[in-house]
Structures are given as C-alpha cells and as structure tokens.
Amino acid sequence: MPAISSRKPYRVGRSRTGLGLFATKEIKKGTRIIEYFGRMLDCRIKEQDAIENKYLFELNGRWTIDGSVRRNIARYANHSCRPNAESDVQPRNRKVYIQAIKTIQPGEEITYDYGKDYFDSYLKPIGCKCTHCEKKRKLARAEAREALKKQKVRAAKRALKLNGHKTNGKALNGHAVSRGKAAAGRKRLPKKN
C-alpha cells in the first residue's frame, strides 16, 4: 500500500476486522504513536463502575479510561497476538500511549495486544481474527484435510483387503489394483494370437 501524506503517522482505514489504524509513514521502534484517551471512570462510583463497552482501558484498580468517544483515534488500533506496538500505561498521569515495539512500514496496520482479560471476554468466544491466529487456523484446516485424505485412503485399502485384493498395486485374483482402488468389475479381453 503506498504511503499517504499526512501530518500524523497514522490514519483510520478498512481492516479485515472492520476499521483499523494504519501507518502513513515509517514509524521507528520505540516511537510514541498516539494517546488513548477518553472520560476517566472511577470504579468507586457505582454508576461509573457499571459502564460496559469494548473501549474501556483499565489504568489501575481505581481508574479506567472510557475510550468510546469518536475523537479517540487510538481506539481503532486492533488486537494482535503478534503486535507491532504496545500500550504504555502511565497510571500516575492517567494516560495511555500506543508505541511501536518494532519499525512499522507505511500501509501496515498498527496493532497491539489487548491483554488476557479482554481476549477472554471478547475475542476468545468469537475467535481471534488477527493475522497470526488466522494463519494458525488455516494451517490447522490444511492439516485436518490432509489427515482426512489419509484416513480415506486407509479405509479404501482396508475395504480392498476385505474383498481379497492386495493394495500394493499388483494384480491379485485377476483384478488390477492401482492407487488404492480396485479395478474390479472390468472384463478381461481374450488374448489375441
């Protein structure tokens, strides 16, 4: 994806999981990219502690940032099990920043690990859609297909053995066997003299 000129090193764009945050220029490792901000919630206040949404960022046992406001562009950074950024939580200052943990190229999606609690509550029930997990699922599906093929071949060989056929590709009792399938039922043509 070509670099998009912008004063900011990021932009919101379409991602495989909906909207995402993408680099518009190279972001060096260790660079603070964006602040995650919103209304501060105090868990000691019953009404504030009862607020539930996917954009809550817990700073400590007392304070949580409600990042659901649209101006909070950092909320568009998606989760990844193999992220290129991380959250820099500063509870004393009541601030959270997203910073690069490796160099991020223009057009690359900016991702960070949302943490175990969020993962277990929101992502695990529907299946994590990050690139790393998608690759693992794709590999698992390919392995399952291969195992199913092998299972079918073994079942076909067992069926041939039960019918009195060898499965090593040699003819037996007048029937040719090739690639695990019997050529039974074919009529033999008489030899020409």
Q: What is the C-alpha separation between 120 and 48, in angstroms, rounded?
A: 22
Q: What is the mean pLDDT of residues 115-134?
A: 86
User: Which residues, in sequence order, are CB contacts of 12 under 8 Å at separation 6+?
Assistant: 19, 20, 21, 22, 73, 76
Q: Which two tokens mark 47? A: 């009404």
Q: Which two tokens mark 29? A: 């490792």
The pLDDT value given to residue 6: 61
Residue 158 CB neighbour total at 10 angstroms: 11
pTM across the whole model = 0.69
The pLDDT value given to residue 189: 63
CATH fold, domain 10-126, is Beta-clip-like (2.170.270)
Given a contact cutoff of 8 angstroms between Cβ atoms, the answer to whether 28 and 103 are in contact is yes
Which of 60, 10, 6 lies closest to 35, judged by CA?
Answer: 10
Q: What is the C-alpha separation between 112 and 132, in angstroms, rounded?
A: 12
Q: What percent of the chain has pLDDT over 90?
A: 48
Q: What is the C-alpha separation between 139 and 149, in angstroms, rounded?
A: 15
**For 137-147, how does the pLDDT look when each residue is reduced to its tens digit (9 = 90+)?**
888 888 888 88
**For 158-186, how does the pLDDT look when each residue is reduced to its tens digit (9 = 90+)?**
877 777 765 555 544 445 555 544 455 55
Strand pairing of 78-79 and 109-112? parallel
**For 15-64, how does the pLDDT look when each residue is reduced to its tens digit (9 = 90+)?**
988 899 999 999 999 999 999 999 999 999 989 888 888 899 999 989 99
Q: What is the C-alpha separation between 12 and 21, in angstroms, rounded?
A: 5
Give the angle subtended at the CA of 88 by the CAs of 84 and 104, to the nearest 5°.
20
> Where do the domains of the chain lie?
10-126, 134-182
